[in-house]
Amino acid sequence: MTARRRSAFAAILLGLGFGLTAVAASAKKPAKKDVPEQLRWSQDWGPMVPHKKFPRDCGLCHLPKSWDALRPDFRYDHKRETGYALTGAHARASCLRCHNDRGPVASFKARGCAGCHVDPHKSAMGMDCQRCHGEESWQSRGTQGDRMADHARTRFPLIGVHSALPCDQCHTRTAAGDFRGLSPDCFRCHLDSFSRAPNHVASNFPRDCRPCHGAVAWAGAVMNHSAFSASVNCASCHLAQFQAAPNHVANNYPQTCANCHQTSTWLGAIFAHPASATNCVSCHLAKYQSAPNHVASGYPQTCGACHSQTSWLGANFNHSFLGGNLICSNCHHDDFVAAAAPVNHTAQGIIESACSQCHSSNGGVWQPASFTHNPAKCYDSGSYRSHENATCVQCHPSSYSAATCTACHQNRSDCD
């Protein structure tokens, strides 16, 4: 074929938007079996494009006596001739899938993907197919993270276990491309789990799982009591726990659990004692009897005199309940014998029954001890303030009773 004839042919086809160029690639006579599927024709694609303006030399494109197939050496640079590059599956598609009797290619090209492809989503997913699909296939492209980001723009962002589920587990019409009409309510998918869960149906739990459960697992739920009315009786759900709790039934505790317990855990309850509860041992007799010295020393059973209502620990012993003329050693003999620093009580000859001369019973502690000297003596007078900072052993090196002024002062005439 002459250069002039090829140019005329290209000019005609460019005017149709279908600029064909045939270049003989082999001297061998081509056969239909050598023609790739892309260059064949099927009646399923509709009538043939009118050829009125095509060159009369059919052999430029077709095999002899095989009008349903183009020459196997047929070549066409779609981007150069039309300005539109064919990529992915479009580059492998048969020419007549697009270039047929439906009209000028430009008219349906302007409609984007919908110009050739029926939208199975019925526009529910928008018109931008490339947001989810590529040109290689109709399979959703991108990573799982990309798909999760797309889903985050819906009413139901994918978090926890939901992010790992296949689409068709929730969207049963996925194969048909229909993702519409799915409710975001937990109950729609988790009816069976709700029905099997303890107390959920019987106690008329709300069907919105999210106030108590997370999206990672059903286990570890934190009961959100705010979902219930304030008038709900705790025992209507927790009667078994109430009956199993120590002393609750025997002592006729009220069933308003929130008086002592929090809604997040049973542990750490703080018992709210009513104002009328004055007989402590009616509930705490066992603790009174097992406490050190309480029975042996005849401690009163008015626990509130020393203990608080929040804890037994940290008691502040109130000696006034023991009456007057107390003999300290009756309770504190072991403490007296063990006292060795800063003053060895036994070695210094301190009187065991006179604890209160140095120690205070306030606050329930022995220290700091402070001995008040006879104010009539000079070592306590305003003229001798240096004694205030002296330590006990400076004046009483061996015994408190043996101390004299002359041990430190050679002339004590001014002290008399």
Domain spans of the chain? Answer: 3-110, 118-207, 276-323, 329-364, 378-415
Structure letter (DSSP) for residue 133: B
pLDDT at 87 > cutoff 80: yes
Q: Helix (H, G, I), strand (E, B), or coil: what is residue 221? A: coil
Mean pLDDT of the 183-188 span: 85
User: Helix or strand or coil: residue 68?
Assistant: strand
Per-residue pLDDT of 360-397, as tens digits, reads 776 556 777 777 666 555 565 455 566 666 677 777 77
What average pLDDT is seen over the chain? 75
How buried is 321 (Cβ within 10 angstroms: 0-12 exposed, 13-18 middle, 19+ buried)?
exposed
| 414/386 Cα distance (integer angstroms) | 15
Quick one: average pLDDT of 126-141?
A: 79
Please state the rounded mean pLDDT for residues 253-274: 81
147 closest CA partner among 179, 188, 119, 185: 179
pLDDT digits (tens, 9 = 90+) for 199-222: 888 878 888 888 888 888 888 888
Burial 186-202 (b: 16+ CB within 10 A, else e): beebeeeeeeeeeeeee
Residue 290: predicted pLDDT? 92
Put simply, whether the predicted model's pTM sits higher than 0.75 gets the answer no
Q: Which residues have a Cβ under 8 Å from the Cβ of 164 and sit 6 or more positions away?
A: none
Percent of the chain at pLDDT exceeding 90? 1
Is 12 a residue whose pLDDT tops 50?
no
Q: Binning pLDDT at 50, 70 and 90, where does residue 252 land? A: confident
**Which helix or strand (DSSP H or E) is residue 6 part of?**
helix 3-15
Measured CA to CA in angstroms, residue 72 lies from 44, 69, 222 at distances of 21, 8, 70
- What is the 3-class SS of 236-294, one letter each residue? HHHHHHHHHCCCCCCCCCCCCHHHCCCCCCCCCCCCCCCCCCCCCHHHHHHHHHHCCCC
- pLDDT for 142 equals 64
pLDDT of residue 157: 86
Q: What is the pLDDT of residue 24?
A: 37
* Cα–Cα nearest to 30, from 5, 57, 6, 61: 61
Q: Higher model confidence: residue 286 or residue 276?
A: 286
Phi/psi at 397 (5° precision): -70, -30
Please give the average per-residue pLDDT across 93-115, as a whole number.
78
